C-alpha cells in the first residue's frame, strides 16, 4: 500500500501547487507546498496552521478478487487562525478557502500509481483511486478553526508489492 499512499500524496501535492501556489510553509529551513504526511515527519507539538496534514488510519484488504485490493482510510486535517492583516477575523473565510482547495485537489478521484523508491519514479500497472471526502464539522479552539475530511483510498496490489 506504500506505493498507493505515496502516489496519493504526490498527486494532491502537485494539484495543490497548481490550485494555490501561495499555500506553502517553512519546515526545517525549506519552503514546501502546504501539505505533508504526518507519519513521514518529525512529531510536532502543535500542527502547523494553513497546511493540509495527511494521516493514514484503518487498513482493509479484499483477497476475494482476481487481484488483491487494499483500502486505507486517509484523514486530511487542517486548521487556520485567519490572516494577521485582518486580526484573525477572517478565519472562517480562510477555512472555507481550504475546504474548496481540498475538494479541488481530490478531483479527479484517481491518479497513476508510481513507485517513488526509483529515480525518476517508475510507473506501475494500476491506478490509485478514492471516494468522495466526508467532511467533519468545523471545530473552534480559541483563535483557531479546524476541520478534517476522511477519504478511502484504494489500490490493487501488484507483483512485488
Q: What is the CATH number of the domain that holds 29?
A: 3.30.2000.20
pLDDT at res. 88: 67
pLDDT at res. 83: 76
Residue 141 lies in a domain: yes
pLDDT tens, 52-67?
Answer: 999 999 999 988 878 8
Residue 132 lies in a domain: yes
Instruction: Find out whether 20 and 101 touch, Cβ atoms under 8 Å.
Output: yes
* Bridge partners of residue 59, in order along the sequence: 72
Those residues whose C-beta lies under 8 Å from the C-beta of residue 10, and which sit 6 or more positions away, are: 111, 114, 116, 121
Residue 121 lies in a domain: yes
pLDDT at res. 117: 93
Total domains, the chain: 1
Residue 161 lies in a domain: no
pLDDT tens, 82-103?
Answer: 877 777 678 889 999 999 999 9
**Per-residue pLDDT tens digits of the chain, which is 161 residues long:** 999 999 999 999 999 999 999 999 998 899 999 999 999 998 888 889 999 999 999 999 988 878 889 999 999 999 999 877 777 678 889 999 999 999 999 999 999 999 999 999 999 999 999 999 999 999 999 889 999 999 999 999 998 78
pLDDT at res. 28: 85
> Which residue range is the domain that position 94 belongs to?
2-156
* d(C-alpha 98, C-alpha 107), whole Å: 15
Work out the number of other CB atoms within 10 angstroms of the CB of residue 37. Answer: 18
Amino acid at each position: 500500500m506504500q506505493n498507493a499512499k505515496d502516489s496519493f500524496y504526490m498527486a494532491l501535492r502537485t494539484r495543490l501547487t497548481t490550485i494555490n501556489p501561495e499555500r506553502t510553509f517553512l519546515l526545517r529551513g525549506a519552503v514546501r507546498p502546504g501539505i505533508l504526511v504526518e507519519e513521514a515527519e518529525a512529531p510536532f507539538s502543535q500542527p502547523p496552521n494553513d497546511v493540509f496534514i495527511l494521516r493514514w488510519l484503518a487498513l482493509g484488504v479484499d483477497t476475494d478478487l482476481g487481484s488483491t485490493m487494499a483500502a486505507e482510510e486517509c484523514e486530511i486535517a487542517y486548521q487556520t487562525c485567519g490572516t494577521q492583516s485582518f486580526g484573525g477575523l477572517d478565519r472562517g473565510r480562510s477555512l472555507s478557502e481550504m475546504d474548496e482547495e481540498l475538494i479541488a485537489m481530490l478531483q479527479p478521484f484517481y491518479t497513476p500509481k508510481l513507485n517513488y523508491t526509483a529515480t525518476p519514479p517508475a510507473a506501475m500497472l494500476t491506478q490509485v483511486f478514492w471516494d468522495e471526502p466526508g467532511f467533519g464539522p468545523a471545530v473552534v479552539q480559541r483563535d483557531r478553526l479546524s476541520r478534517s475530511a476522511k477519504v478511502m483510498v484504494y489500490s490493487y496490489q501488484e507483483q512485488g508489492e
